[in-house]
Amino acid sequence: MESGDYDVETKREKLKSVLSQLLADPILADVPRNPTLSDVVTLVSLEKGSAMRLSVVKLDGSSLDVAVMNSATLKDLKLLIKKKVNEMEQANMGHRHISWKHVWSNFCLSCNNEKLLDDNAVLQDVGIRNNSQVTFMPYVMKKGRGRHSKRKKHRLFRSLHKTSS
> Can you list the domains of the chain with their CATH numbers?
17-136 (3.10.20.90)
pTM: 0.67
What's residue 96's pLDDT?
Answer: 73
Residue 8: pLDDT band with limits 50, 70, 90: confident
Highest-pLDDT range among 6-15, 117-126, 133-142, 150-159: 117-126
> Would you tell me how many other CB atoms lie within 10 Å of the CB of residue 63?
14
What's residue 139's pLDDT?
Answer: 85
For the stretch 43-53, pLDDT in tens is 888 888 889 99
Buried b (16+ CB within 10 A) or exposed e, 73-95: bbeebbebbeeebeeeeeeeeee
Give the type of residue at 4: G
What's residue 143's pLDDT?
Answer: 63
> Would you tell me how many other CB atoms lie within 10 Å of the CB of residue 146?
6
What's residue 127's pLDDT?
Answer: 93
For the stretch 89-148, pLDDT in tens is 877 777 678 899 999 999 999 999 999 999 999 999 999 999 999 999 998 776 655 554
| Average pLDDT score over residue span 72-85 | 93
For the stretch 23-50, pLDDT in tens is 777 776 667 667 777 777 888 888 888 8
50: helix, strand or coil? coil
